[in-house]
Amino acid sequence: MPRGRRWLQHVNRPQTEAELKAIRHSLSRGTPYGSADWQQATARQLGLESTLHPRGRPRKSEKK
């Protein structure tokens, strides 16, 4: 894929706190980094669906 005209400026731009948090989460969990739709599709394609779910056992439902 060809790089855009302002590619260098784009990749050298500092990340926002939200972007840094998302990148750190992605690295620690091994999840794909990108938009939610892209993450879902890529995780499915690569067999990484479990990395998108919270860690640990699901909580028990409250008894009614």
Within a domain: residue 55? no
Give the total number of structural domains in the chain. Answer: 1
- On whether residue 8 sits in a domain, the answer given is no
What residues make up the domain containing 24?
15-46
pLDDT at 64: 56
**Residue 6 counted as domain residue:** no
Annotate the chain with DSSP letters as a single string: -PPPTTHHHHHHSPPPHHHHHHHHHHHHHTPPPS-HHHHHHHHHHHT-GGGGSPSSPPPPPPP-
Domain for residue 34, yes or no? yes
What pTM did the predictor assign? 0.62
Confidence of residue 59 (pLDDT cuts 50, 70, 90): confident
